[in-house]
Amino acid sequence: MTGPSQADRAGQAPAATYEPAAPALQVGHVDVTYRVRGQDRLALRDVSFEIGRNESYGLVGESGSGKSTMALALTRYLPRNGRVSAGSISVGGRDPLAMNRSALRDFRARTVSMVYQEPGKALNPSIRVGRQLGEVYEIAGSDKTEAEARSVAMLRKVQIADPGRVMDAYPHQLSGGMAQRVVIAMALAASPSLLILDEPTTALDATVEAEVLDLVAGLRDEVDTSVLFISHNLAVIAKMCDRVGVLYAGELIEEGPASQVFDEPRHPYTVGLLRCIPRQGQRKDHGRLDAIPGFLPQPGDDRAGCVFAPRCPIVVEQCRESPPPAFDVGPDRTSRCYRHEETADMPRSTPSDITLPAQAFEAEPVVTMRDLSKTFTSRAGRVGALAHVNLDIRTGETLGLVGESGSGKTTLARVLLGLTTPDEGSKVSLKGQPLGPDLAHRGREQLKSLQIVFQNPDSALNRRHTVRRLISRPLAKLAGLSGTALQDRLMSLVASVRMEERHLSLRPSQLSGGLKQRVAIARAFGGNPRIVVCDEPTSALDVSVQAAILNLLADLQAKERVTYLFISHDLGVVRYLSDRIAVLYLGRIMETGPAERVFAGPHHPYTEALLSAVPSLDGQRLDRIKLTGEIPSAADPPSGCVFHTRCPRRLSSGICESTEPPLAEVEPGHLMSCHIPLDELRLMQNIGASDDNRAPGP
């Protein structure tokens, strides 16, 4: 045990827990087995990798890949029915598998730390934040006062402006971003050799995520800690990590320097995965996303050969017979594929360019919203979810609705559908006819016209009903079909979402995520709607499944000639599918316009910040617009332009604080709510990170 440590002002204990020469992490041929209902199932098979000192390593995989299992194994926190059945682990030169209880405690306290996905839940709700942070120092041997002082210093280090207040607060009083900083502070306080981050920013908004990632990157430079970053988001990994390993169904199928692996993948799965993610320039009809056919292997499936063989487009006999070893494909690069040299020319499973029928935009928009407001009253006061929104949706287009939490995008969709009643004075009309404020006031024609695909198919489908019933109901109720007409339409719907008849007698719990979402889509289209709201339709699905669903949505739109209101927090996906974009912030429209215009610029400062915050595989913009502060509360919105408190381009004249800018057409088809004239924005944003025109921060 260390005695009272020589704390530096930064508040960290000096790292003295491992030999300087040992790598931060060594995993050698590790198998992890779970015992489920009497059967042994391998969650990880023959995984080997190394993380050097001060290195950042990304572990990438979809659900079922075993990436979280790896993290649990490293800290020896597997559940009771799991065990490391083979291989060796060494963290900072220490072997956690061989330790007794007190050595394990010491190991967890000083050698390895973890940061998880939901920061709010990771903190004890009944203990003040300061005490929880101080606990880490007390374990290392400090007394109470010293621990408190070092906690305050550590909070400053993670860029919390008012550490004293946060120390006294309870976890539920902190925002998501703040809570995650506290958790990071707790993790780094012990100066671990290895910091494990398991999806640390998945639950956070884009701008907050960017700040937390920047924080972690910045801290890495100061602190002598290696990082294991686990995520399903390849762009985040590309931004944060030096090296990357790709996990598929429990096996590490490819490994190497991040830039190389993502630019020139050498395994068919990695190639396929990268083709599923929309990059700049890809559109629904041009440079289409390519799906990975087939299905993740079920636990307990036979694995005679390569684990990816059932789905591989370039599979040969050898692949099915024996599992490929890790071939050296470059300096510090490996790939488990017999045909790793041919991956560059791997054929696609769907064509790259197709011709979608030209959209016949009518003159009159199909939906108009004027002065749409929605205020929620609760014990906390009045919360303005939407404020005087004016928006048009044109026939046959895909309008992408973009915004972070609190932007009001979900509320807008719900008002349109009639699930939520708007405030008095709001005018929403469908094809020129006013829409009733709620479902009770809408006729059958109007009900037919508006349908939705929800984010989470587990929640959106009644788990006690069969697929047949789920899809048939709208046919009977909205389209008024019965008998043979209903049967015919049912079968044609099933075919158009690419399902088979045998699925009809199943219940949702027997289907995969992708299939469930297809059922939801079939159901939405059953009544021949004119407008379908897609509320984050792929966010709950794996990356490899997303592409298929997105393409399906695009094809269905062409075939049935519907209009989409497409809501997503994923800007890449929005850009891929949308014709026009509307950007919402705190219940107000900041900008609407053609997709490429809005994305390329010149655009609203908020749009600019949002775009720069999202990590992308196409390389990072050096000029990241950092937004200061948190998203303001909707219960107490700022005066004038609601974005002014965080806007880096705020005008020094003070007009941004006093007057709310109108939503004005700055060029044909492109509306913006900003006091800065378009030409000035064009200058500011093309030049890049120029500080000349930026107002001082709040």
Partner 1 sequence: MGRYLLRRLGLAIVTLWILSLIVFFAGQILPGNPARAILGNLAAPSAVRALNHQLGVDRPLVTQYLSWLGGLLHGNMGKSYTYQSAVEPFIRAALINSAKLAALALVVIVPLGILGGVIAALNYGRALDRLISLTGSSAATVPEFVSGIVVIVIFGVTLKVLPVTAAAGAGASFFTQLKYLILPAVPLVLVLFGYIARMARAGTIEALESDYARTATLKGLKRSVVIRRHILRNSLLPTITVIATQTGYLIGGLIVVETLFNYQGIGKLIFSAATAKDFPMLEAGVLTIGVVYMVATLAADLLTFSLNPRLRVGGME
Partner 2 sequence: MTDAVATAPAEIVPVLPTRRELPIWRLLLRRPSFVIGAAILLFWIVCAIFGNAIAPHDPLAQDLLRLNKPPSAAHWFGTDPLGRDVLSRVIVGSRTILIVTPLATLLGTVLGTALGLAMGYFGGLLDALVSRLVEAVLALPAVIIIFMFVVALGSSVRTLIIVIGFIFTPLVARTVRSSVQVERQLDYLSSARLLGERPARIMFVEILPNVIPTVVVEFTVRLGYAIFAVATLAFLGFGVQLSTPSWGSDINASYGLLGAGYWWETLFPALAIASLVIAINLVADSTQQVVAG
Q: Determine the distance from the C-alpha atom of residue 383 to the mean position of all C-alpha atoms in its chain, rounded to a whole number.
A: 26
Question: Which CB sits closer to partner 1, 173 or 505?
Answer: 173
Q: What CA–CA distance (Å, rounded) separates 174 from 181?
A: 10
Handedness of CA 453, 458, 463, 468 (dihedral sign): positive
Q: For the CB of residue 110, give the shortest distance to partner 1 in the complex, in Å.
A: 7
Q: For the CB of residue 139, give the shortest distance to partner 1 in the complex, in Å.
A: 6
Question: Which CB sits closer to partner 2, 298 or 690?
Answer: 298
Among 11, 58, 514, 605, binds partner 2 (CB under 8 A): 514
72 near partner 2, judged by CB under 8 A? no
Among 173, 202, 318, 459, binds partner 2 (CB under 8 A): 459
Among residue numbers 55 through 94, which ones bind partner 1 (CB under 8 A)? 75, 77
306 binding partner (options partner 1, partner 2, none; Cβ < 5 to 8 Å by kind): none
105 near partner 1, judged by CB under 8 A? yes
585 near partner 1, judged by CB under 8 A? no
Structural tokens at position 337 = 């594929």
Do residues 475 and 481 lie in contact, with contact meaning Cβ atoms separated by under 8 Å? Answer: yes
Among 477, 624, 626, 694, binds partner 2 (CB under 8 A): 477
Q: What CA–CA distance (Å, rounded) separates 609 from 208?
A: 11
Among 239, 374, 523, 649, binds partner 2 (CB under 8 A): 523
Residue 52 has φ and ψ, to the nearest 5°, of -80, 175
Q: For the CB of residue 83, give the shortest distance to partner 2 in the complex, in Å.
A: 23
Question: Which CB sits closer to partner 2, 156 or 473?
Answer: 473
Among residue numbers 362 through 391, which ones bind partner 1 (CB under 8 A)? 380
422 near partner 2, judged by CB under 8 A? no
Q: What CA–CA distance (Å, rounded) separates 556 from 568?
A: 19
Strands 433-434 and 427-430: what pairing? Answer: antiparallel
Q: For the CB of residue 136, give the shortest distance to partner 1 in the complex, in Å.
A: 6
Q: Give the SS3 label for residue 695.
A: coil
Q: Give the SS3 label for residue 419.
A: coil
374 near partner 2, judged by CB under 8 A? no
116 binding partner (options partner 2, partner 1, none; Cβ < 5 to 8 Å by kind): partner 1
620 near partner 2, judged by CB under 8 A? no
Instruction: Write b or e for each residue in 449-464: b if 16 or more Cβ atoms lie within 10 A of its Cβ, otherwise e.
Output: bbbbbbbbbeebbeee
Among 34, 49, 107, 262, binds partner 1 (CB under 8 A): 107
Residue appearing with tokens 């079922």: 64
Question: Which CB sits closer to partner 2, 228 or 549?
Answer: 549
Which range of residues in 112-120, 207-215, 425-433, 521-529 is near partner 1 by CB under 8 A? 112-120
Among 6, 39, 100, 126, binds partner 1 (CB under 8 A): 126
Structural tokens at position 75 = 């800290």
Among 68, 405, 496, 539, binds partner 2 (CB under 8 A): 496
Q: What CA–CA distance (Å, rounded) separates 431 from 435?
A: 9
Nearest of 619, 623, 585, 580 to residue 604 by alpha carbon:
585
Q: How many residues sit close enough to partner 2 to count as binding (CB under 8 A)?
A: 57
159 near partner 1, judged by CB under 8 A? no
Structural tokens at position 68 = 């979280």
Among 356, 614, 683, 689, binds partner 2 (CB under 8 A): 356
Return the number of other C-beta atoms located less than 10 Å from residue 687's C-beta. 11
Which range of residues in 105-113, 352-360, 437-445, 575-583 is near partner 1 by CB under 8 A? 105-113
Strands 39-51 and 427-430: what pairing? Answer: unpaired
Among residue numbers 188 through 247, which ones bind partner 1 (CB under 8 A)? 190
Nearest of 69, 635, 63, 20 to residue 379 by alpha carbon:
635
286 binding partner (options partner 1, partner 2, none; Cβ < 5 to 8 Å by kind): none
Handedness of CA 627, 613, 170, 184 (dihedral sign): negative
Among residue numbers 552 through 591, which ones bind partner 2 (CB under 8 A)? 552, 555, 558-559
10 near partner 1, judged by CB under 8 A? no
Among 16, 21, 37, 172, binds partner 1 (CB under 8 A): 172
Q: What CA–CA distance (Å, rounded) separates 398 from 392?
A: 12
Instruction: Write b or e for each residue in 283-320: b if 16 or more Cβ atoms lie within 10 A of its Cβ, otherwise e.
Output: bbeebbbbbbeeebbeeeeebebbbbbbbbeebeeebe
114 near partner 1, judged by CB under 8 A? yes
Among 241, 452, 540, 541, binds partner 2 (CB under 8 A): 452
Per DSSP, which regions of 232-352 are E strands?
243-248, 251-257, 327-330, 333-335
Nearest of 328, 325, 335, 321 to residue 268 by alpha carbon:
335
464 near partner 1, judged by CB under 8 A? no
> Residues 659-668: contacts with CB within 8 Å, 24+ apart?
663/390, 663/589, 663/592, 667/597
Among 90, 180, 395, 551, binds partner 2 (CB under 8 A): 551
Residue 440: DSSP 8-state: G
Ramachandran region of residue 656, left (φ > 0), alpha (ψ -120 to 50) or beta?
alpha
Among 106, 371, 438, 596, binds partner 1 (CB under 8 A): 106
512 binding partner (options partner 1, partner 2, none; Cβ < 5 to 8 Å by kind): partner 2
Q: For the CB of residue 656, give the shortest distance to partner 1 in the complex, in Å.
A: 24
* Chain residues in the site for partner 1 (CB under 8 A): 75, 77, 105-110, 113-114, 116, 118, 121-127, 135-136, 139, 165, 169-170, 172-175, 183, 186, 190, 380, 633
* Chain residues in the site for partner 2 (CB under 8 A): 288, 291, 293-295, 298, 310, 349-351, 354-357, 417-419, 439, 444, 447, 450-452, 454, 456, 459-465, 473-474, 477-478, 496, 498, 500, 502-503, 506-507, 509-512, 514-515, 523, 527, 548, 551-552, 555, 558-559
